Chains A and B, each alone.
Chain A
Amino acid sequence: QKEVEQDPGPLSVPEGAIVSLNCTYSNSAFQYFMWYRQYSRKGPELLMYTYSSGNKEDGRFTAQVDKSSKYISLFIRDSQPSDSATYLCAIRQTGGSEKLVFGKGMKLTVNP
């Protein structure tokens, strides 16, 4: 079983739609959860990170963590064409290496 699973899509939605992106993980030691956005041929940029169960909101983006189910989500409200990118979840465990374990990434296209 992979440590982090993410549906690679692709996902195509109309402008203004609510987008839901999800990852599951297998290791209970994972305690820190991030979402990165990567535009084509660019490096990933950090969108959000959290270390507890519950929701964290930043503008149109909401990150949700359910540790009991080992499930994390990113919601994008009022999606824009500029949101078209690949979204990667990344997870890190406490007390171990600093390394991030990434999902495969979901390619999102928002159509105007």
Chain B
Amino acid sequence: NAGVMQNPRHLVRRRGQEARLRCSPMKGHSHVYWYRQLPEEGLKFMVYLQKENIIDESGMPKERFSAEFPKEGPSILRIQQVVRGDSAAYFCASSPTGRSLHEQFFGPGTRLTVL
């Protein structure tokens, strides 16, 4: 059973460009969470999604950031007009449907560098 998949693993963008980060949850998981890890900081919650629904986006910056989890395909975290401060590791986690929702399994992360 493949784990949580994220791609790309590394992404370099220039200021003002768009970044798209993809996350495929574990098989059978329909809950997806995105977290951001800034240098020397812990993981910070950004958004929680179920299929076709945003459940909690309290950690998302108000501008330039959006997330989706369509009926088919991976979850996408989109950052428009990136700035240097967006440079971080972005982790996706998924949890199963119907079982304990307390376990969140993390992907390997996407490391975004903004030049």
Q: Which residues of A contact B (CB under 8 A)?
A: 6, 8, 32, 34, 36, 41-46, 49, 51, 88, 90, 92, 97-105
Contact = CB atoms under 8 A, between A and B. Distances in A.
Given A6-B42, A103-B42, A104-B41, A92 B102 contact: yes
A51 B103 CA distance: 12
Given A98-B33, A102-B44, A103-B42, A46 B104 contact: yes
Interface stretch (B11-19, B52-60, B61-69): B52-60
9 contacts: A8-B40, A46-B105, A49-B102, A97-B45, A97-B55, A97-B58, A98-B33, A98-B48, A99-B59
Contacts of B56: 97-99
Q: How large is the interface on B (under 10, 10 to 19, 20 to 34, 35 or more residues)?
A: 20 to 34
A86 to B, nearest CB: 9
A82 to B, nearest CB: 19
> What 8 A-B pairs are tightest by C-beta distance, nearest first?
A43-B106, A99-B45, A104-B42, A97-B56, A102-B42, A102-B43, A43-B108, A44-B106
